[in-house]
Amino acid sequence: MEFKHTSVLLNECIDALNIKPNGVYMDGTLGGGGHSSIIASKLNNDGKLICFDLDKEAIDFAKTRVKSAGQVYFVHDNFKNYEKFLQENGILGLDGVLLDLGVSSYQIDNAERGFSYINDGPLNMCMDADAKVNAETVVNEYSKEDLTRIFFEYGEEKFSKKIADAIVKARQIAPIVTTQQLADIVKKCVPFSKKSSGHPAKRIFQAIRIEVNGELDGLREFILNCVRKNLNKGGRLAIITFHSLEDRIVKEAYKLLSSDCICDKKMPVCTCHHKAEVKLINKKPILPNEAELTINPRSHSAKLRVLEKI
Task: Please give the helix or strand (H or E) that residue 308 lies within, else none.
Answer: strand 303-309
pLDDT 10s digits, 16-71: 999 999 999 999 999 999 999 999 999 999 999 999 999 999 999 999 999 999 99
Mean residue pLDDT across the chain: 94
Res 193: pLDDT: 65
pLDDT of residue 107: 85
The answer to whether 281 touches 16, Cβ cutoff 8 Å, is yes
Confidence of residue 191 (pLDDT cuts 50, 70, 90): confident
Among 229-243, 256-270, 293-307, the least confident range: 256-270
**228-249 pLDDT, tens digit each:** 999 999 999 999 999 999 999 9
pLDDT for 308 equals 98
pLDDT score of 15 more than 80: yes
Which numeric CATH code is attached to 10-101+218-309?
3.40.50.150
R_g over Cα of the chain: 21
- Is 128-213 in the same CATH topology as 10-101+218-309? no
**Class of the CATH-defined domain 128-213:** mainly alpha
CA distance 181 to 170: 10
Cβ contacts of 33 within 8 Å, gap of 6 or more: 51, 58, 61, 62, 65, 66
Sign of CA dihedral 94, 250, 218, 125: negative
Please give the distance of CA 205 from its chain centroid, rounded to a whole number.
15
| 119 φψ region: left (φ > 0), alpha (ψ -120 to 50), beta (else) | beta
Angle at 239 between CA 3 and CA 233, to 5 degrees: 125
Region 268-278 average pLDDT: 87
Please report the pLDDT score of residue 268 as a whole number: 79
**Sequence ranges of the domains in the chain:** 10-101+218-309, 128-213
Q: CA-CA distance, 281 to 298, in Å (whole number)?
A: 25
Rounded CA gap, 182 and 296, in Å?
27
Note the pLDDT tens digit of each residue in 117-154: 999 999 999 999 888 899 999 999 999 999 999 999 99
Does residue 163 contact residue 186 with C-beta atoms inside 8 Å? yes
What spatial distance separates the first Cα and last Cα of the chain, rounded to whole Å? 45
Q: How confident is the model at residue 269 (pLDDT cuts 50, 70, 90)?
A: confident
Q: What DSSP line would sit under 261-285, residue for residue?
A: --S-TT-SS--S-----EEES-SS-
